[in-house]
Amino acid sequence: MKKVQFFLITIILSALSLEGKTIRVGPSESVTQIKQAIVMAQPGDTILVRAGIYREGNIILQKSIVLIGEGYPVLDGENEYETLTVHAQHAVIKGLKFINTGTGSIEDKAAIKILDSENLRILNNQFENTFFGIYLSNSSHIWIENNELKSEAEAEHQIGNGIHLWKCHHITINENKIKGHRDGIYFEFVTNSLITNNYSEGNMRYGLHFMFSHNDEYRDNTFINNGAGVAVMYTKGVKMINNHFIHNWGSSSYGLLLKDISDSFVMGNEFVENSVGVHAEGSSRIVFKENEFIRNGYAFKLQASCDDNVIERNNFQQNTFDLVTNGSLVLNRIESNYWDRYEGYDLNRDQVGDVPYRPISMYGMIVERMPTAVLLWRSFLVFLLDRAEKAIPVITPENLKDNLPAMKAYDFNK
């Protein structure tokens, strides 16, 4: 027993002896530059940066250290340099403010660029007027949390993405605020990663953009007033849960754009006041369940190239068009949704309509083929056309219907 105790005490003392020292950097300290402190530091050390403005060009970090700011010291790229390039393991970057990075159409300059790294923490930093904010390449097991990224470029070519990932895996992006970038968050060849509780607003292209990124999940995020909310392209196995897509409005804007994706799950999301709530094209085996579609131009555009999708137990309320398609084949299942335009009856009082509901209107089909026909919206002619089409379907797919429409809206908060 005494040998075991002695062994444990030895391990504890050894761990304590490995605890790093703290190097203080600041105008009134003996070390005045961050670069100087990094040269001095050993793995496990902490560099504490005092408040002030640091113009040191591109700072290179290749050690397992903690770089932490006190009072948000400013790293100024002077509109020329990348401010911090990281190629390390087990490092922490916290409490710094990054401003005025350089720009370029060939070189992707960033406030923080992480290359071939693992097990990093990027926490509680601020970014203003940066080309790319946080840029990750070929890295894994990175945690990015509680950062605030804001830029004010006027055109897409003037700005990069807020948080940009290329060829990464096992990344967590949590509780960040991104505004005014090209894409708020961008994934390309990124797998097994999680995006939660972020707020992405006013980005020029997409609040969140996936390309060739499989088996990821994003939940509890808000995408508001972006060029388009979220685009998921050429991807499979994505879970999209409890997000808010709000007022992503414009002539070619979507709350959620799905293009050539498969085997995914869209559940518990809120689509409010978007030009198009969901636009699905070339997508297969996706479950849309328990989503709210409220006051959108088009709630759901389901293109004829989609098949084997399930749309069930969703609420469709106050949309101009609930569902439109550009084909006549019925290759998807639509069941047990609530439609506020449903005029059927429920004689046995089981809260399920006794007659099917056809959510696609003749006028919606016409507008899909000739967008200028939207000028006739709310006219008496449109009313007569839709009534006639419901009685004798000619243009709308006769089999595209909800056989079990709900009589009242679902309460998904229960």
Q: Tell me whether residue 355 is in a domain.
A: yes
Q: Tell me whether residue 282 is in a domain.
A: yes
Are 75 and 213 in the same domain? yes
Q: Residue 86: give its domain's CATH number.
A: 2.160.20.10
Q: Which residues pair with 204 in a beta bridge?
A: none
Contact assessment for residue 204 and residue 159, using Cβ atoms and an 8 Å cutoff: yes
User: For residue 39, what pLDDT is reported?
Assistant: 96
Are 323 and 203 in the same domain? no
Q: Tell me whether residue 42 is in a domain.
A: yes
Are 312 and 200 in the same domain? no
Rg of the chain over all Cα atoms, to the nearest angstrom: 26
Are 49 and 194 in the same domain? yes
Q: Tell me whether residue 3 is in a domain.
A: no
Q: Tell me whether residue 1 is in a domain.
A: no
Tokens of 133: 């904010």
Contact assessment for residue 64 and residue 43, using Cβ atoms and an 8 Å cutoff: yes
Chosen domain end from 184, 205, 220: 220
User: For residue 397, what pLDDT is reported?
Assistant: 65
Instruction: Report which residue type is found at 212.
Output: F
> pTM for the whole thing?
0.88
- How many domains does the chain fold into? 2
Per-residue buried b or exposed e for 187-223, using 16+ beta carbons within 10 Å of the residue's own CB: bbebbebebbbbbbbbbbbbbbbbbebbbbebbebbb
Chosen domain end from 188, 220, 252: 220
Instruction: Report which residue type is found at 223.
Output: F
Are 273 and 163 in the same domain? no
Q: Tell me whether residue 21 is in a domain.
A: yes
Are 102 and 155 in the same domain? yes
Are 63 and 93 in the same domain? yes
Are 175 and 278 in the same domain? no
Chosen domain end from 194, 220, 246: 220
Are 192 and 242 in the same domain? no
Are 177 and 272 in the same domain? no
Measure the CA–CA gap between 87 and 73, rounded to whole angstroms.
22
Tokens of 317: 């309320």
Q: Tell me whether residue 390 is in a domain.
A: no
236 φ/ψ angles, rounded to the nearest 5 degrees: -140, 155
User: For residue 294, what pLDDT is reported?
Assistant: 97
Are 52 and 177 in the same domain? yes
Are 162 and 101 in the same domain? yes
What residue numbers bound the domain in which 278 lies? 227-360+397-414
Q: Which of 153, 155, 106 is nearest to 133 (CA)?
A: 153
Q: Tell me whether residue 380 is in a domain.
A: no
User: For residue 5, what pLDDT is reported?
Assistant: 46
pLDDT < 50: residue spans in the chain:
1-18
